[in-house]
Amino acid sequence: MKWRGRRGSRNIEDRRRMSKGKAAGGMGIGGVIVVMLLGMVFGVDVSSLVGNGGGGSVSSNSGTITQADKEQGQFVSVTLADTEEVWAEIFHEQVGRAYRPVTLVLFKGVTQSPCGNASGATGPFYCPGDKKAYLDTDFFTTLSKRMGAKGDFAAAYVVAHEVAHHVQNELGTLGKANAARSRMNKKDSNRVSVMIELQADCYSGVWARRVEQKFGSVDQGDLREAINAAKQIGDDTLQRNAGQRPMPHTYTHGTSEQRQQWFIRGYKTNDIRQCDTFAALN
């Protein structure tokens, strides 16, 4: 992905100098990774499990921004700028109104959101309460080294997926789906959650196609990185990697195959109307 020297977004809220982190305490790195994977699978805040729950103490982040941190921040900023231009164009063409960009919060360790604690343990997420996406860029290291999803465009896919949740919120889909989930039992709520996540994957595919066409910054190797990332963060793959037997009734994001298929569908059709997972999966 060609991103260096390109325009960045102004809609970045950088909290990395003020974030605080929790030490992993007595839990070994293998245990920490397993707990993190389970947090991502089940959508829960597991920061307490990798903090004092392991017998360690809370430690403050030094607030030091390394050169790697700066580069990751610039990368996220450029990727976010691409989403702004692309979704403004798509909203004009396919929705008939203006797109209001999301704000992306960068942090290190732990920070606060209206949806609860944001932490590296829970992975990136979008909070409808303040219409912001939250990202600890250390997750890119986990994505690459621990999950086998390497490459700039794998990381860009993660950003695009969270922005896609904001798109769902802007279109009213996310609010309706979450309202329905609040009235459902756990199994049905998880099923709707999968629909939400797969639609965000499809929107990410639409975004990738537009980025390729509009900026010429993406090639076929980049697309393979994104598709591989979708595979590595499927519920079934995450559960296997966490030493668990895949349990479909607990899935909240979709299988690896589903996530890949819906990303590819968005990329091939270039049309958000083809991303109606709610109709397709009912």
Give the per-residue pLDDT at 65: 77
Q: Is 21 left (phi over 0), alpha (psi -120 to 50) or beta?
A: beta
Condensed to tens digits (0 to 9), the pLDDT of residues 54-85 reads 333 333 344 677 888 888 889 899 999 999 99
Mean confidence (pLDDT) of the chain: 82
pLDDT(272) > 90: yes
Give the per-residue pLDDT at 58: 32
Q: What is the mean pLDDT of residues 77-100?
A: 96
Amino acid present at 2: K
Condensed to tens digits (0 to 9), the pLDDT of residues 185-239 reads 999 999 999 999 999 999 999 999 999 998 887 788 888 888 888 988 899 998 9
Please tell me the distance from the alpha carbon of residue 268 to that of residue 281, in angstroms, as a whole number: 19
Give the per-residue pLDDT at 242: 86
Please tell me the distance from the alpha carbon of residue 254 to that of residue 259, in angstroms, as a whole number: 6
Give the per-residue pLDDT at 160: 94
Give residue 20's pLDDT band: very low, low, confident or very high (50, 70, 90): low
pLDDT(179) > 70: yes
The pTM score is: 0.83
Strand partners, 116: 113
